[in-house]
Amino acid sequence: MSNIPSQIRDSVIVIAGASSGFGRGAALELAKQGAKVVVAARRGELLDELVGQITAHGGTAIAAVTDVSLESDVTNLARLAVETFGRIDVWINNVGVGAIGYFWDIPVDVHARVVDVNLKGLIYGAHAALQQFLKQDGGTLVNVGSVDSEVPLGLQNTYAATKAAVLSLSRTLNEELRLHGSEERVRIATIMPWAIDTPWWDHAANYTGHAPRMTAMDDPSLVVEAIVSACTNPKEEMPVGPKAHLSNISHRLFPDLTERLSATMAQRESLKGSPLEPHKGTLFSPMPEGRGVEGGIAHGQYRLSQEGLR
């Protein structure tokens, strides 16, 4: 018998990475549909603003300032959710940071930080969620990967590696749940979006010498819809939008050609913006820029000034 929630209303949903981007968008939409949301991120003032926005419209939300690279923070997040609402129905691992540039130009500490957040942070979240789901005999884990989970992308090297690891871990955990006899009660979905116009581009470390300029990006609403859908109808792998679907199909049929075309496109897009000094973005500490669901990078609206990056 499945214990996956059949509806959003009254479900308890933890969202890591909820201060901006599609994490914020998912929190707003899930609360609108009646979920009790627990929002987590490093920027406490934005979480408070988000909770205020949700409760002002009659929703239920609480916030937990959380750095997912710290196991203790993630453990406390899970504890807060259970102590407040008695259970966790859905856990959304949405946190992701990146560094753009040639691998050898990016400092080792930046590569390590991407791994700490994107992979170790996801492991901490998955571990806390699965322990609770098995204890209460049901729940859904939603891991946010990327089209990079299937198609490696040049100049996003360690980010692509961590997103490939996200998909591999999700596949492994689904097999372990089958072996454990829990696959009908505990489900894991991996969301795999195309490049999305969110504040991620403002927040990513950059060692290309140029502000990013990306075209043919998808709207974050597509990912928000996919995350919401996964809460009640989880599928093991969920590419988001036609571009992600076509990219995955192309890579399976023509892997070498697809990787060459993707890398060439990434180089062209990453190196055509205005000059920009190297910076570490928000990897080690949050910044005030990039507060909404959308980013504006698709229209060349790179928000960060040189002064703000020093």
- Residues noted as catalytic: 159
Which helix (H) or strand (E) covers residue 228, if one does? helix 220-232
Both tokens of 189, joined, read: 């979905």
- Specify whether the CB–CB gap between 189 and 94 falls below 8 A: no
- What contacts 152, CB < 8 A, 6 or more positions away? 160, 161, 164, 259, 262
Residue among 159, 260, 152 nearest 206 (CA):
159
88 — phi, psi (to 5°)?
-130, 120
Q: Report the length, in residues, of the chain.
A: 310
Structure-block tokens of residue 15: 């969202």
What is the enclosing helix (H) or strand (E) of 266?
helix 255-270
Contact 39, 63 (CB under 8 A): yes
Instruction: Locate 30 and state its tokens.
Output: 């899930």
Count of other CB atoms within 10 angstroms of residue 134: 15
